[in-house]
Each structure stands twice: as C-alpha cells, then as structure tokens.
Copies of this chain bind each other. A is one copy, B any other.
Amino acid sequence: MLVEKYKKMLSGKSVIRQLSEFATARGKEIGYENVFDYSLGNPSVPVPDKFTQVMIKMLKEESPVKLHGYSPSLGNPEVKEKIAASLRKRFDIPYTAEHIFPASGAAGALSHAFRLVTEPGDEILTFAPFFPEYHPYVDLTGAVLKVVPANTEDFQINFAAFEEMINEKTMAILINTPNNPSGIVYSAETLTRLADVLTKKSVEFGHTIYLISDEPYRELVFEGVDAPCVSKFYDHTIMCYSFSKSISLPGERIGYLAVNPACEGAEFMVPMCGQISRGIGHNCPSSIIQMAVAEVLEDTSDLSVYETNMNLIYKELMDLGFTCVKPGGTFYIFPKALEEDAKVFCEKALKYDLVLVPSDSFGVPGYFRMAYCIDTEKVKRSLVALRKFVETEYPDRKEIKC
C-alpha cells in the first residue's frame, strides 16, 4: 500500500549519483587520488574561517535556549534584515526583511517558489541544458516542467523555440545563471530579451508569468565576465539563493528566497511561504546556521581554484580538438563529446579512470559535464589521462569535430 509514484522512482537512479558511486568504488581499488572524479558538484574549498569562528563564538557565549530556540515561522527577523540590506546595497533593489524567506538551500527555496505560483497541471518552462533535479522538484508538485531545446551555439536562450512553447498554461519560467551544467552566464542582452517576451506574453495571456531564478552559482563568476542580476531585468522575479557553493556549506542546507518588491503579490509571498512550509514540513533552516551565515554575507570561500581549473581544462580541450563554449562561472564545463552517443563516450572514458557525466539528463544529447571542484594538482594529472583517452579512442577526431 506504499505510494506507487515514489516507489517507482526508486528504479530511476540518477546518472550522476551512479557515476559518483562508481568513482568511490574504483577509489577503493586504486586509491581515490587516482580516480579523476568529475561527477559531483560538491565544493572542494573550505568555508571562510570567519564562519567557523562566528559559530564557535556563538556556541561559547550565547544562551543555548536563544541559539537553538524556534525561529519565527518566516525566519529569524534579524537575519532577514541583514540579507535584505546586503541585497539592497549590492543590487540597488529595495528589498526589506519582508521579502526574504530563509530556506533549506536553493532546493528548499525552489520548492516554495513552485508552489507559490503553480497549481497542478500548470506549466513551468526551463531551458536546456538544465539541472536534472528540476524534474522531480517540479513533477512532484503536480505542475509540469517543459524544457526548451538548447541554443548550442553559445548556450544562451533559444528564443525561437521558447516563443513557440510558451502558452496560456505557462505560469513560470525557471532559469539558472551561471548555469549548471554549461557554466554559461546569461548576458544582459539575453535577460532583456527574456523580460520583453515575458512582459508581452503576460499581457497576451492575461496573467503574470513569474521568473524563478535559481542562483546558487551567483558568486562563482570568472574574471572579466559580467554576470547581471536577474531581478534587475524583470519585476516579477523570485530569486532562489543558496550558500552551498559560495561559502561551501552544501550540507548545512541554507539559502533563501528573495521576492522582488515590485513583483505582483510581493506582499503576500513570504507569508504564503510560511503556509507552504507547514505542508511540506520545513519550518525554517537551522537556527544557528541562519545566524552564522548572516555574519558572512559579504564573504566567499577562496573560489579562485575553480577558475584556475577551468582555464587548464578549457585549454587542453581546445588543444585536443573539442568543441566547447568557455564557461563564465560555476565549476562546470560542458564540451561536446567526440561521438554522437555521449553515454558511450563517457563509458569509454571510465577505462582511463576519467569520470565524466553524459549530457542526456541535462536535456542536450551528445555533450558531457565535468565538475572541476577538485584539487588543481589532480586536474593536471587528469589531463594526461584525458589526452591518452582521446588519442587512443579517437585518433581521427579532427573529422568528428564540428
């Protein structure tokens, strides 16, 4: 009598998870330092030391009853005010505490955002390539996730396909910039055009189409790259942020939802999140973690290793004859595979202890993702294996390159 939909999902194991398990198992055979594991997006650099010191200080000096007591159901007011102030200062958007809802990471924020603006049967559109978890996140609300095919030229938005797919049932658009898996940052031009389409279509369909902006990689932007703030382009934006990647706290499940003050219904949204929480059992992220991140809002981990790794990998990929759009941020890169079936390509790479993720579940066939949140020293060794793999398996690769 268990509920079948969840039971059925057990057979559909995530490819990323399977590959990560392979890497762990292989590591037990040959030493994990010899497995070039590019499967998981788990940050490799520590949280800023200030966070650790803040935690220790609070634990030593604060009253435990205050430190670990219930947060109000809409989040700790002082924490909300600090987040709002930081966003105001940085993006010049008049956020106040009333627009901020602390959540269990971006996943928690998204789970509230989807429920705010969709009923079962409504559609949410997203753009390939996209984070595969969006499917269960949306599907299990009863709304329907539709994927707009990729613009493989530069992984900006495929507007022709988008305008064809958007329809009366579309209640929200879900974007992720800087993007997992492509590493691409949406340009101001892309965001302006997206906002124009949404404004026009909202009028045409007689209802506001919301923009849900998933921004865990907001701080992971490489030198010289302009990463515009999505909420600046379209009023009806719900920002979903996570501290997982910027300060390397993925396991602490801490992030927030920030409603643009000019958004339709902005005054109701955070209180409504409190109601949604009752239904999904959230009731705020950890109290002490909320208070601690509020003290490091302007800090990041030392993220430079990701850019160093990206440059090394990108150069070698180019030298080896791959087709690849250069990432503007994140710790992902998304090159074209050297044969049509990316699964076969990634399968062959395993023989060289290179753990690459085929792109099919990201909504684009024929590519692969590398999550380069690993030590630079290991990246360097992996490139030797990559060259060997490519030269051995694809000696004629110049012809395959398109």
| Residues of A bordering B, CB below 8 Å | 1-3, 6-7, 9-10, 17, 40, 42-47, 52, 55-56, 59-60, 63-65, 67-71, 73, 103-105, 107-112, 115-119, 133, 136-137, 139-141, 171, 207-208, 210, 248-254, 264-265, 268-269, 271-272, 275-276, 278-289
State the Cβ distance, A56 to closest chain B Cβ, in Å: 5
- Please judge, given known A-B contacts A2-B265, A268-B2, A269-B2, whether A282 and B7 are in contact too, CB under 8 Å: no
Q: In the docked arrangement, what's the CA distance between A241 and B152, Å?
A: 49
A281 touches B282 (CB 8 A): yes
A249 touches B68 (CB 8 A): yes
State the Cβ distance, A144 to closest chain B Cβ, in Å: 14
State the Cβ distance, A221 to closest chain B Cβ, in Å: 22
A248 touches B68 (CB 8 A): yes
Of B3, B60, B65, the contact of A43 (CB 8 Å cutoff): B65
- Please judge, given known A-B contacts A2-B117, A52-B64, A69-B42, whether A111 and B272 are in contact too, CB under 8 Å: no
B283 touches A285 (CB 8 A): no
State the Cβ distance, A253 to closest chain B Cβ, in Å: 6
Q: In the docked arrangement, what's the CA distance between A141 and B47, Å?
A: 37
- Please judge, given known A-B contacts A2-B268, A251-B68, whether A278 and B117 are in contact too, CB under 8 Å: no
16 A-B pairs whose Cβ atoms sit less than 8 Å apart in the complex: A1-B210, A2-B116, A2-B117, A3-B116, A7-B272, A9-B272, A43-B69, A65-B248, A67-B251, A68-B248, A70-B251, A111-B279, A111-B281, A252-B286, A253-B283, A253-B285
Which residues of chain B are near A6, meaning CB under 8 Å?
Answer: 115-116, 272, 275-276
State the Cβ distance, A383 to closest chain B Cβ, in Å: 23
- Please judge, given known A-B contacts A3-B115, A68-B251, whether A286 and B285 are in contact too, CB under 8 Å: yes
Which residues of chain B are near A73, meaning CB under 8 Å?
Answer: 17
B69 touches A250 (CB 8 A): yes
Q: In the docked arrangement, what's the CA distance between A377 and B278, Å?
A: 34
Q: In the docked arrangement, what's the CA distance between A137 and B17, Å?
A: 31
Which residues of chain B are near A55, meaning CB under 8 Å?
Answer: 55, 59
Of B9, B272, B276, the contact of A275 (CB 8 Å cutoff): B9
Q: In the docked arrangement, what's the CA distance between A186 and B276, Å?
A: 32
B280 touches A111 (CB 8 A): yes
Nearest CB in chain B to that of A115: its residue: B3
Which residues of chain B are near A254, meaning CB under 8 Å?
Answer: 286
Q: Which of A64, A117, A210, A282 has the most CB of B within 10 A?
A: A64
- Please judge, given known A-B contacts A105-B283, A281-B104, whether A3 and B251 are in contact too, CB under 8 Å: no
Q: In the docked arrangement, what's the CA distance between A104 and B1, Å?
A: 25
Which residues of chain B are near A288, meaning CB under 8 Å?
Answer: 251-252, 289
B117 touches A281 (CB 8 A): no
Q: In the docked arrangement, what's the CA distance between A271 and B253, Å?
A: 20
Q: In the docked arrangement, what's the CA distance between A289 and B56, Å?
A: 14
Q: In the docked arrangement, what's the CA distance between A103 and B104, Å?
A: 12
Which residues of chain B are near A141, meaning CB under 8 Å?
Answer: 279
Q: In the docked arrangement, what's the CA distance between A85 and B107, Å?
A: 31
Q: In the docked arrangement, what's the CA distance between A108 and B280, Å?
A: 7
Which residues of chain B are near A68, meaning CB under 8 Å?
Answer: 47, 248-252
State the Cβ distance, A315 to closest chain B Cβ, in Å: 27
State the Cβ distance, A262 to closest chain B Cβ, in Å: 15
A283 touches B107 (CB 8 A): yes
State the Cβ distance, A239 to closest chain B Cβ, in Å: 16
Of B56, B64, B278, the contact of A59 (CB 8 Å cutoff): B56
A282 touches B137 (CB 8 A): no
- Please judge, given known A-B contacts A105-B283, A111-B281, whether A1 and B117 are in contact too, CB under 8 Å: yes
Q: In the docked arrangement, what's the CA distance between A173 and B314, Å?
A: 58
Q: Which of A264, A280, A285, A286 has the most CB of B within 10 A?
A: A280
